Structure 1
Amino acid sequence: MFRTISDIKDKLYRKLGVWPPPALSGMQLGPDGSAQNPMMLQFFTWESKHENMSWWKHFEQEIPRLAELGFTQIWLPPPNKAMKKGGQGYDAYDLWDIGEFDQKDTIATRWGTKDELLQACAVARQHGIGVVIDAVLNHKLGADRCEAFSAVPVDPTNRLKDLGKERQIQGWTVFDFPGRKGKHSSFVWTQEHFTGLDWDHQSRTNGVFRITGNGHRGWSKWVDKELGNYDYLLGVDIDHRHPRVRQDLFSWGSWILDTTGGSGFRLDAIKHMDRRFLLEFIKRSREHPDRRRLFSVAEYWSANLQLILPYVQAFQGQTAFFDVPLHENFFRASKAGSGYDLRTIFDNTLVNVRPGDAVTFVDNHELQVGQSLESWVDTNFKLQAYALILLRKDGYPCVFYGDLYPNQECYNETVSRQLQQLLIARKIFAYGPTRDYVENSNCIGFVRAGNSLYPGCAVVVSNATRSSLENLVQYIRMNVGLEHGGATYFSYLETGSQKQEVEIDVDGWGLFPCFMNEVQIFIKDVGVVVEVN
């Protein structure tokens, strides 16, 4: 069997237990030459829609403020035409239509027109902000025509188990893109370019059907083993082994980056895609001299770190991964209240084991109440969670639009106001090595030592409740450094508690108050004042 160099590397990494270099260190996360902490924002919720303008125009107008808050990259929703007029883009119809052609009863996507997108991307670049493209490469929906072909029904809970014999079905698998008329790409998709689907139009039945017949090779084996084989997720599943499919998707990757000036990709649903294809997709996207440090983050959705780590090895340092196990810890902490031991908050997380591969986050569009992966971090622990990803050294943090901007789905004004203060604190204080102080189960602290350009800070985090404390305040003894001996540190965040001062002794030690269920940042310079809109 023919093996590529990537296949050989993958096998060696797994067999020898050798780890690839950390992904984030090879990527551009912010402007060249900047010493500022990089940070990403997911600029949408599931139902995002601006009442007065397109989403792309809204993004363009917010860019100056986002730069002030310290964001260096913005993850945008999928720019492609969806299967229906109001589709978010995860119901991908045509990747090559980014609001340019009259298809699916609209020229604009849910988010706006191509011209509006390109204008917003140009303004972002002018402000030193990179744009991350959400690449939905696993499936297609909203076909233009139906066709007949052979298929086998399989067990939805075990895709390797057939439920019947091969038979002829009809499926919506022909994508002509009549509104685009071959512009950008002349490729027409038919059943030969897919592995499976969930609807037989002939018998009007749902199920999971593996497409068979001439040229079909079944499910890819280079996918996650959940449900026996997790190649199929939804819609009509793309066969990433087909030469014409591969060429079209590789071409799209270069085209979308050239067209938008994008700084990288967020790769959707990677556990369902042939990982050899994805690895080549990333590498080919970086072939252009200006894209050697292209950003890439993959969504492998599992709270089990042991399932994520083999993928980290398999991708050979070419992509970072969202730290889903850390989100799960945040979610559990928010549900358990003071019953959660904060000393374990980083246990079994990617940022703890492979910090150079971890994109940390608190919540996203799929975790909102009512969504498919609902596991929303409640307001009682939201600020604590953000402090733990924004103010520490390890990982690359991603903030959620729904926590920052007013919206009808998940907004909390107090969370938003204090989150903005945390963002500014990351931008101007949170630098240098991290020293942890974790003696107490309900109150932990850490110190950022600072560097020659930025001063550093001390941070305390509490999940204590009135019933778990005899007093409303606990204290953590932390050392801010011998060079700060004799100084006074002042509380920075505007919380429900009164302003605090901490006297540092000659050896650099101070006793920092940790108020019930709050976050607080202590800084040496009381003269720093930041207005939050």
Structure 2
Amino acid sequence: MFGQLKERFRGLWAPEPALKRMQLAPNEQTDNPLMLQSFTWDTLHPTLSWWQHVEQEIPRLAAMGVTQIWLPPPNKGANQTGRGYDAYDLWDLGEFDQKGTVRTRWGTREELLSACATARKHGVDVLIDAVLNHKIGADRCESALAVPVNPQNRLEETGPQRTIDAWTAFDFKGRGEKYSSLKWNQQHFSGGLRRPGSIGTTNRAKVACIGYRDLVIMDGPNMPVDKELGNYDYLLGIDIDHRHPEVRKDLLDWGVWILETTGASGFRLDAIKHIDYRFVLEFLRHARTTLQWPGIFAVSEYWSSDLDAVLPYIKTWRGATTFFDVPLHSNFHNASKQGARFDLRRILDKTIVQSFPNDAYGTITFFGDVLHLKCFYHKVVGQSLESWVGAEFKLHAYAIILLRAGGHPCVFYGDLYPNAECGDPGVEKGLPPLIEARKRFAYGPCKDYFLERNCIGFVRLGDSKHPGCVVVLSNGKPGKSHLLRMFVGKESANATYRAFLPGSDARITIDSRGWGSFPSSDNGVQVWVREEFVK
């Protein structure tokens, strides 16, 4: 279906802008909006729960300019250290004794709600990470009918239907029927992966890798999802059947309940390429309609570096959600690996932010936590994924997403805070000034000067309340300097511009026509601002 849509609609119409209709910051905020992904995959605080740590940091983050905090999945996972992506019970926020713990990895329900209340008090919106694709950690096995399929082509059956012991019964004895009375069983799932010892599968299986579908009610290809591997409905664990009426009601009710309970302003939607796209639209529409809040924020994780793969979703969903700009992340990754061999003029090529700037979620998030998550997913299903962005290019990438127009940037906790998992001292030192430059200067029309292979720049011309700025990025060999001639506006004729980032107090003078020649810096990133606005 999506392949046909891609050909039919390519270039004929653009989707309705998503960002313009969504809440990116509390209404009273007038500065540039900014999101923080407030967790990493492994890092925990030595003395506080993670919710307590986040709450403690909120005043500082709000002062920096953060307007949204993306929380990790708040639900109970399959074990005591589960991050929530191993979703066991969405309705358990750290309240019930289930899976050997009352609290989640991140803390208790009370601590979560306290952190959310503090965020609202300081003018910071909260986003919930919604894991709607699968469940893991079933309470017991059931006998189920299954058809083995080729894991590289899920539409190809490799044997006859058979009875298996499937981990598909979720009883939630610790929670009982509080919040929801649904007890999940085999009729609520569409498939899984049989592999010895894997979570949520049968331990009796002696076959190395057999996928199965048609547990009870399915008698043909799965729902409309991404066509990778023939049909990419299955990712890991036990795959949820979003066509079942009881499933739909439970998840739709949860979406409204979690926003009302936490006071959150929207969702980060996990693994949408594996979910019936019609259900995702219904999920968002139901929350917005029920709560009478059309501005509920949503960003979807569709993991593909191929712009053509995500285009049909962007166009079909017509502004219902923003999208992580994975193609942009892929360009950042390539730039960090290739060094001076990478042509910076191509950094935005075939990205969402270039094609649809009002739908792109230009993000650094993939440098850390989400990449850990995707590696976990792909390790489970027998694949591999590697697309780290090296520290030597991270500040370049942050300058692009934080200071250019278009898209909605997200800062990653692991780049802002010292940590043994993925932190880098140079990035930790250089990132806060870029965030400050976004808050104070990066406003108004944007003019790109992508003129040299190893040196590019852009100018933000400012608005009635902000002075604007000039950004120069270079990736040439050490010791080689560049000059970019850029227009900053006739109103800045004969003005002095000063380097804003720490480590340099260089100055240049704009000519009488509003043009200036801006040099590159030793570390490859510099922001220039009129001297009278630099404190």
How many corresponding residue pairs? 515
CA contact (8 A) 1:134 1:266 kept: yes
Q: Kindly state the Cα deviation for residue 528 of structure 1 after the two structures are TM-superposed.
A: 3.2
CA distance in 2, matches of 1:16, 1:150: 45
Q: Kindly state the Cα deviation for residue 15 of structure 1 after the two structures are TM-superposed.
A: 8.8
TM-score using structure 1 length: 0.93
Q: Kindly state the Cα deviation for residue 370 of structure 1 after the two structures are TM-superposed.
A: 10
Asked if 1:153 is matched to 2:148, the reply is: yes
Q: Kindly state the Cα deviation for residue 475 of structure 1 after the two structures are TM-superposed.
A: 0.8
- Counterpart selection for 2:517 from 496, 511, 517: 511
CA distance in 1, matches of 2:415, 2:114: 26
Could you give the per-residue CA deviations for residues 362-421 of structure 1, whole angstroms, max 9, x where no partner exists? Answer: 223132599454321111111011000000111100111110011111111121111000
CA contact (8 A) 1:472 1:515 kept: no
Relative to structure 1, the CA distance from residue 219 to residue 56 in structure 2 (aligned partners, 3 Å threshold; closer, same or farther) is: farther
The root-mean-square deviation of aligned C-alpha atoms, in Å, is: 1.9
Asked if 1:489 is matched to 2:493, the reply is: no
CA contact (8 A) 2:487 2:515 kept: yes
CA contact (8 A) 1:369 1:376 kept: no
Q: Which residue of 2 aligns with 1:385?
A: 397
Q: Which residue of 2 aligns with 1:473?
A: 481
Runs of 4+ in 1 over 2 A off after TM superposition: 10-20, 199-221, 288-291, 366-374, 525-529
Could you give the per-residue CA deviations for residues 10-40 of structure 1, whole angstroms, max 9, x where no partner exists? Answer: 8998499433301111100012143210111
Q: Which residue of 2 aligns with 1:283?
A: 285
Counterpart amino acid of residue 371 in structure 2: L
Secondary structure at the residue paired with 1:279? helix
Secondary structure at the residue paired with 1:331? helix
CA distance in 2, matches of 1:19, 1:444: 28
Could you give the per-residue CA deviations for residues 133-189 of structure 1, whole angstroms, max 9, x where no partner exists? Answer: 000000000000111011011110000001100011011100000000110001000
CA distance in 2, matches of 1:120, 1:458: 37
CA distance in 2, matches of 1:176, 1:286: 30
CA contact (8 A) 1:464 1:516 kept: no
Secondary structure at the residue paired with 2:91? coil
CA distance in 2, matches of 1:47, 1:218: 40
Counterpart amino acid of residue 267 in structure 1: L
Q: Kindly state the Cα deviation for residue 317 of structure 1 after the two structures are TM-superposed.
A: 1.1
Percent identity over the alignment is 54
Moved more, 369-378 or 19-28: 369-378
Asked if 1:402 is matched to 2:414, the reply is: yes
Relative to structure 1, the CA distance from residue 75 to residue 149 in structure 2 (aligned partners, 3 Å threshold; closer, same or farther) is: same
Could you give the per-residue CA deviations for residues 417-457 of structure 1, whole angstroms, max 9, x where no partner exists? Answer: 11000000000000000011121111111110000111101
Secondary structure at the residue paired with 1:330? helix
Secondary structure at the residue paired with 2:482? strand
Q: Which residue of 1 aligns with 2:310?
A: 308
CA contact (8 A) 2:190 2:215 kept: no
- Counterpart selection for 1:43 from 34, 38, 41: 38
Any residues of structure 2 matched to 1:12-23 within 5 Å, and which? 14=9, 17-23=12-18
Q: Kindly state the Cα deviation for residue 209 of structure 1 after the two structures are TM-superposed.
A: 3.7
Q: Which residue of 2 aligns with 1:464?
A: 476
Counterpart amino acid of residue 282 in structure 1: L
CA distance in 2, matches of 1:126, 1:12: 48
Secondary structure at the residue paired with 1:489? strand
- Structure 1, gaps ≥5 residues long: 1-6
Q: Which residue of 2 aligns with 1:117?
A: 112
Secondary structure at the residue paired with 2:212? strand
Secondary structure at the residue paired with 1:265? strand
Q: Kindly state the Cα deviation for residue 307 of structure 1 after the two structures are TM-superposed.
A: 0.3
Could you give the per-residue CA deviations for residues 185-228 of structure 1, whole angstroms, max 9, x where no partner exists? Answer: 01000000001111344444453443436533444331000000
- Structure 2, gaps ≥5 residues long: 195-201, 377-384
CA distance in 2, matches of 1:109, 1:396: 30
Q: Which residue of 1 aligns with 2:26?
A: 31
CA contact (8 A) 1:488 1:501 kept: yes
CA contact (8 A) 1:465 1:517 kept: no
Any residues of structure 2 matched to 1:188-337 within 5 Å, and which? 188-199=183-194, 200-212=202-214, 214-337=216-339
Moved more, 509-518 or 231-240: 509-518
